[in-house]
Structure 1
Amino acid sequence: MATTKKKSASLLTEIPDELLAEIFLRLSDPADLARASVACVSFRRLVTDGSFLVSFRSHHAPLILALLDRDGFHPALPPHPSAPAARALALVADFTFSFLPGHFRWLNLDVRDGRVLLSRGFEEYGLPGVFRELAVCDPLHRRYVLLPQLPDDLAAMVDRLLTSPFLVPLSKDEMAAEEEMAFKVICLAHGKTKVAAFVFSSSIGQWQAAACMFWSDLALDMVDSATMSRTNSCYLRRHYAYGCFYWDWLVIHKKQLLVLDTRRMEFSIANLPPGGWCTQGVAIVEAGEGRLGMFGLHGETASDLTYAVVRNRGESPSQWQMEKTISLDSGYRCYIKAVTERCLLFMRTKALPGSPRLIEYFTMDIKTLQLQRVCAKQCKTWLPGIMIYAHLFETGVYTNFPPSLLPPRTV
């Protein structure tokens, strides 16, 4: 019997790496991949290879392990299926960012692909404004890159500079070519008369001007452009789909979105479907077949969630088709906080004044519409009976593979 087992194990390890990779790519759960990686040295070498993980990520969504906001790190809690991996992450990663230099507090600006974009510097009334210093870091491996300041000649392109830096998704080819060590940051700068985008690429190591346009060229009137030039970066809800970023500054009054196409580096304005969209936000998603989808909240307490899809494909959205309306619990006030490739992140609180100061976070699968509770926290910014500003600040979704699958790397 022992000889038979030894022979079977030998035959399994003699399978060519190309065939093993195809087998491992078809595992539905990253936890199964982690278990396979501890079977033998050759399996682990294959599973933790950067190019294999790029392919696996393109077939499977990374686990939602934690949320990051101004109050810190909030791991997924049971019964969420990612809770065990989140617990392991909390033990080995440093989300206090103590490995970064300096004594001032670093603020979370964005989270993507296991990396965190942080800012340290100027604050106006406690809200992020013009940045002095940015860092991209990997809290799991405690590594970071400090970004240079935006050069004066670029900053001079926009008057009354307010900035909103964020991480940019890399294409599969870019990730494979750089073995997952590359990253890009876009800084959206908006002033009195124009909006501009500056790009920092780790492969180049410097900021470059990418796009610039006058508000008037975007067919915005004086009132709209003045509002957008005064808008602080914490109010800029950002969405990404099919190579474009969308901001919902103009949802309430104009039923429009500001769009930045990162492939052509061009700004434009996109129209939303008619309807009374709430200030609690909308979410632009990839609906499949190259078409955009949009989730939006309705009702006095944002208790109705509507889903619409663009009829046209590959163009600026113009004709929307309402797909369905989902009724949420009317006893809670809901906010759309973030959107990933596969799900929406909701924040909810009790709708009645004087209710417990508990904030709960849920994800909704974009395809199945299944809700899952991620975690909860006590709100730290309160006046009697009223929650102040908590819904305005960024909440990043930390998605990654289990720590056991991630080899040491740099950012």
Structure 2
Amino acid sequence: MGNRRHKGKAAAKNKRRCDPPCRPTSVHDLPDDLLGRVILHVGSLVNLVRAAAVCRRWRRAIADAGFLARFRSVNGAARVAGHYYVPETQPPYPTNRPPPRRRQPEKKPTVFVPAAPSGAAVDDTGLFSLDFLPVTPLVVDGRRWRPEIVDSRGSLLLLNCQPWPISDYTRLQRSPDLIVCEPATRRFQGIPRPPDFSRLYFLGAFLLPGGDAMSTFRVLYVLYQYNASSYSSGTARVFLFGPGTESGWRLCWHTEDDDVKLPCVEKFSFAGRAAGRVCWGIETGQALVLDESTLDFSLVPFPDHVLWPGQKTSFRVIGGLDEDDDHATVRVVRVGGQSLDVFYQMPGSSEWVVESSVQLRDAAAGLPGWDDKLLKEPARIVAAGDTFVVLTPAEETWLFSVDLETMFLEREHERNRHVGQAYPCSLPWPPVLQACLDRDGVVGKRR
């Protein structure tokens, strides 16, 4: 009896030894619904694209329209992946009449600076390079010229394809050709200038809201037309380009246009864009305002304490910090003497009041690289956004910025390394996952 029991235990022990060991589990063993919940919290669109490269099963889960909708509801809209900086060779002149021309150094190419914290991943992939554009750099006045970014919206960029002329008195440009491109997908579309209006002067081109994809973008194109009877005044004209319009361009005529008489174009300078309005400062102390929703122009007189006539680098028009669609506000940043002031307009009133102010010379004295000879003259505004303004002393190029929420000055920020405007750019939404498909266009099975 005892011998039989011993043999039974030995047989059971040998059987356990013959059983295959338990296979370790991994994330691939998760059911589809749990896998979707895990990927839902990768945090950023960059990480989502990385996750799509793991295997076909993950790509199939991410490409699902329901998952993409849940991802956006959890993580919000696509964040800015970085900024394109368009460097200038020197800060802008205070007026539209610079001193006699001197040979300027060649402009540096546009540089893309990734935004933290996922910037390194974006930069390493070269995802935002513009080398796919079929445009050969031109040589203008002995310097190489490349198409320049003039606006951005979402994942799209708008570029000017015509060199700015170099003049002893002003930089006026005739209507240029444009390019709209999406760097992340390396797609682009050339936009020839409006026909029959090639001799008009160029005031600006802008991407309109609501068209954040290559198939839905709209371009606002603003030109200046001199009056036939006199070259001392003129009229602004608006063109709209977008899918479905006849021949691409549509001239937007308004009866109000002929009532808005403008001075000569040399007195204009772009002042900013905020709250659905595009603004140009005029040396007379007024501003030309274009409403993006109605495409109507108006002349807005600013009080003397808000704008300095004739000083285009002394003010910028920006948006409010707490904007929403129903109560979007416009603010004005102005440098007057040694102070920087932020004005906003009282709701339902034409009165402008000071929102915040800072004495630039006193606040900049403690910054790295400070020299006591700086800021004895009014500073020049180089670039501005809703939350910041970049300035430089008139004496020399020494970039610093002011945080408009705290009114603190700083020198170490990335935007203080570039003399020029910054244009934000995001990854496209929904993310382009064409590499996830088989040759027949069907998403592959789990690897």
CA distance in 2, matches of 1:135, 1:43: 35
Which of 347, 358, 361 aligns to 2:390? It is 347
Which residue matches 2:129?
94
The answer to whether residue 202 in structure 2 is matched with residue 163 in structure 1 is: yes
- Alpha-carbon displacement from aligned partner over 1:352-390 (angstroms, at most 9, x marks no partner): 73x5x5546x584x66778771245476xxxxxxxxxxx
Which residue matches 1:10?
30
Question: Retained in 2: the 8 A contact 1:115–1:136?
Answer: yes
Paired letter, 1:62: V
Which residue matches 1:389?
none
Paired letter, 2:123: R
Which of 309, 325, 330 aligns to 1:293? It is 330
Which of 307, 328, 342 aligns to 1:277? It is 307
Which residue matches 2:165?
124
**Alignment CA distance shift 1:35-1:275 (3 Å):** farther
Higher strand share: 1
**Alignment CA distance shift 1:82-1:170 (3 Å):** same
Paired letter, 1:291: A
The answer to whether residue 104 in structure 2 is matched with residue 65 in structure 1 is: no
The 10-residue stretch of structure 1 (279-288 or 192-201) with the greater mean CA deviation from structure 2: 279-288
CA distance in 2, matches of 1:51, 1:7: 23
The answer to whether residue 241 in structure 2 is matched with residue 207 in structure 1 is: no
CA distance in 1, matches of 2:184, 2:248: 25
CA distance in 2, matches of 1:15, 1:214: 59
Matches of residues 1-400 of structure 1 in structure 2 within 5 Å? 6=26, 10-11=30-31, 13-14=32-33, 30=45, 33=48, 40-46=58-64, 59=77, 61-69=79-87, 71-76=108-113, 81=117, 83-84=119-120, 87-88=123-124, 91-95=126-130, 97=131, 99-102=133-136, 104=138, 105-112=145-152, 113-121=154-162, 123-125=164-166, 127=171, 129-152=173-196, 155=197, 161-171=200-210, 175=212, 181-192=215-226, 193-204=234-245, 206-212=248-254, 217-218=259-260, 225-227=262-264, 229-231=265-267, 235-241=269-275, 244-250=276-282, 253-254=284-285, 256-272=286-302, 275-277=305-307, 279-286=313-320, 287-289=322-324, 290-301=327-338, 303-312=339-348, 318-328=350-360, 329-330=363-364, 331=374, 333-335=379-381, 337-339=383-385, 343-344=386-387, 346-349=389-392, 351=393, 353=395, 355=396, 357=397, 359=399, 362=401, 364=403, 373-377=413-417, 395-400=421-426
Question: Retained in 2: the 8 A contact 1:195–1:213?
Answer: no
TM, length-normalised to structure 1 = 0.67
Question: Retained in 2: the 8 A contact 1:334–1:348?
Answer: yes
Paired letter, 1:395: Q
**Alignment CA distance shift 1:114-1:201 (3 Å):** same
Paired letter, 2:240: V
Does the residue aligned with 2:123 lie in a helix, a strand or coil? helix
* Cα displacement (A) at 1:304: 1.8
CA distance in 1, matches of 2:74, 2:240: 28
- Alpha-carbon displacement from aligned partner over 1:214-246 (angstroms, at most 9, x marks no partner): 77723x5xxxx224x3346xx3233132xx222
Question: Retained in 2: the 8 A contact 1:123–1:129?
Answer: yes
Paired letter, 1:335: I
- Alpha-carbon displacement from aligned partner over 1:277-336 (angstroms, at most 9, x marks no partner): 3533222214435131314123325x4242425413xxxx72444332245444563515
Which residue matches 2:427?
401
Paired letter, 2:299: I
Q: Which protein is bigger by CA-based radius of gyration? A: 2
Question: Retained in 2: the 8 A contact 1:114–1:400?
Answer: yes
Percent sequence identity over aligned pairs: 13
CA distance in 2, matches of 1:367, 1:230: 34
**Alignment CA distance shift 1:348-1:282 (3 Å):** closer
**Alignment CA distance shift 1:65-1:406 (3 Å):** farther
5+ residue gaps, structure 2: 1-21, 89-107, 139-144, 227-233, 365-373, 436-447
* Cα displacement (A) at 1:188: 0.5
Paired letter, 1:337: A
Paired letter, 1:237: A
Question: Retained in 2: the 8 A contact 1:120–1:131?
Answer: no
CA distance in 2, matches of 1:187, 1:45: 36
**Alignment CA distance shift 1:405-1:277 (3 Å):** same
CA distance in 1, matches of 2:359, 2:62: 46
Does the residue aligned with 1:202 lie in a helix, a strand or coil? coil
* Cα displacement (A) at 1:137: 2.0
Question: Retained in 1: the 8 A contact 2:162–2:177?
Answer: yes
Question: Retained in 1: the 8 A contact 2:63–2:433?
Answer: no
- Alpha-carbon displacement from aligned partner over 1:250-277 (angstroms, at most 9, x marks no partner): 3x643x4322222222112335466243
Report how many aligned residue pairs link the two structures: 352
Paired letter, 1:270: V
Which residue matches 2:3?
none
Question: Retained in 2: the 8 A contact 1:258–1:268?
Answer: yes
Pairwise CA RMSD of aligned residues? 4.5
CA distance in 1, matches of 2:29, 2:328: 47
Paired letter, 2:335: H
CA distance in 2, matches of 1:61, 1:363: 23
Question: Retained in 2: the 8 A contact 1:309–1:321?
Answer: yes
